[in-house]
Amino acid sequence: MLNKRGSLDLAEAFGVFLVFAFLLLIFLVFIIPGVTKDKDEEIAVKEALYAKENIFVLNNYLNTPVEVGDVSDLINLFLVDSSYEDKLVSVTNNLFSAVYGDCYYLDLGNLEFGSGNNGKSICIPYPGKDDLIQICLDISEYEEKGVEKCL
């Protein structure tokens, strides 16, 4: 209703404000958290599957035959004798460069290979000489760019 000056009553304006505030509250409390929760769950499942896939790659890398047995034997030797570093670096570089070009990142204790570190590394624990070390692999850059741009 109009007041004597022909404008909205204060009570009416306040009522309109309350309805808007109520709608905003519904949106903030129910709609946005629901949508982001679903998105978070989708990302979590994808990351879990991505981790499983790449653990296979890391296992294959560790089981790759080399002169001294397999790569895990070579890592064991490197951990007690740093003279094996060159051999380990050579084997790892040759192998991953052939498969992923430069679109990968492998972190092996203090040794790092490749430049494709997107912060999406999948790590597995590896028993080191002093403490537990981790082997981490990130091939997400390869999956983004593909074979044409990486090799």
Partner 1 sequence: MVNKKGYILQKLQVKQIFYIFFIIIVALSFSVSFTQSVHREVKTSELEQKIAVYRLFSSDDCLGSSGVINIGKFYDENLENCFDVPDNERVGVELKLSGLDGVEIGVSEINKWMVAQKVTCGMKGSFYDCFSTRKYVLIEDGGEIKQGILDILVVTDVK
Q: Report residue 80 as tokens.
A: 């007690």
Whole-number Cα distances in Å, 88 to 77, 94, 108: 9, 10, 10
How is residue 20 annotated by DSSP?
A: H
CB of 97 to partner 1, least distance (A): 10
Q: Footprint of partner 1 on this chain (CB under 8 A)?
A: 2, 6-8, 16, 19, 23, 26-27, 30-31, 34-35, 38, 41-42, 45-46, 49-50, 52-53, 56-57, 59-61, 63-65, 95-96, 98-100, 139, 142-143, 146-147
CB of 131 to partner 1, least distance (A): 27
Nearer to partner 1, 29 or 129 (CB): 29
CB of 143 to partner 1, least distance (A): 5
Say if residues 28 and 34 touch (Cβ distance below 8 Å).
no
Tell me the three state secondary structure of residue 108. Answer: strand
